[in-house]
Chain A
Amino acid sequence: GAGVSQSPRYKVAKRGQDVALRCDPISGHVSLFWYQQALGQGPEFLTYFQNEAQLDKSGLPSDRFFAERPEGSVSTLKIQRTQQEDSAVYLCASSLVFGLRETQYFGPGTRLLVL
């Protein structure tokens, strides 16, 4: 079956521009996670959904970052007024349920470059 897909794969934005990153999780997966991976770093948690409910957004770096999953499947991560420090790979992951031992399946990521 299809894995987690993300689009676009690459995005170049001018500073101050708004961007929207899309994630299509594995069909039937309840949980969806967004991570930010800066160059040379590991993935850092941004936010988490269980179905359409955003249960944890403690990792969002500022109020310029907004995520939604209105129908409990596809999710969009929106960054308003992008800054150069937002340049990173944004990874989406999904898991069947939410639990300590549930395997997260990652998408290929969207590489965002803010000029």
Chain B
Amino acid sequence: DQQVKQNSPSLSVQEGRISILNCDYTNSMFDYFLWYKKYPAEGPTFLISISSIKDKNEDGRFTVFLNKSAKHLSLHIVPSQPGDSAVYFCAASGSGGSYIPTFGRGTSLIVHP
């Protein structure tokens, strides 16, 4: 049973517009959430994270929103750029148990020029 779900396998967006990637989780013990970005033939690289004590974290063009009651988080990229085209993984971990992150299946983002 998947504890971290990314229900959209792919997303296509025009350059300059907003990209919104969604992630849902089922384990209420998760209290730290991360987004990783992965280019082909490379390993995932850390993008942004959020603790459960916050509902928003911003880093430049990237903002992560957390809705704990809905067990949902989203990554917003504004404005989207062609270089953002990659697979984005949502991951979650919990201080109450394992620190080791559980990953979703990923969403492939394509930003068209």
Tell me the A residues contacting B by CB distance below 8 Å: 4, 33, 40-45, 48, 56, 91, 93, 98-109
Contacts and interface: CB of A to CB of B under 8 A. Distances in A.
Nearest to B99: A100
Contacts of A99: 99
A47 to B, nearest CB: 10
Interface in B74-111: 89, 91, 93-95, 98-106
A73 to B, nearest CB: 18
Contacts of B103: 42-44
A4 B46 CA distance: 14
Given A41-B105, A101-B32, A93 B43 contact: yes
A109 to B, nearest CB: 6
- Chain B CB within 10 A, most for which of A40, A44, A100, A103: A100
Interface string B6-27: 1001000000000000000000
Contact of B46 (A41, A42, A103): A103
Contact of A98 (B9, B32, B94, B99): B99
Given A45-B100, A101-B49, A109 B43 contact: yes
Contact of A108 (B9, B41, B93, B94): B41
- Per DSSP, chain B at the interface is loop
Interface of B: 4, 6, 9, 32, 36, 41-46, 49, 51, 89, 91, 93-95, 98-106
B47 to A, nearest CB: 10
21 contacts: A4-B43, A40-B9, A40-B105, A41-B106, A42-B91, A43-B44, A43-B103, A45-B101, A48-B100, A56-B98, A98-B99, A100-B93, A100-B95, A102-B99, A103-B46, A104-B46, A105-B45, A106-B45, A107-B43, A108-B43, A109-B43
Contact of B43 (A91, A101, A102, A103): A91
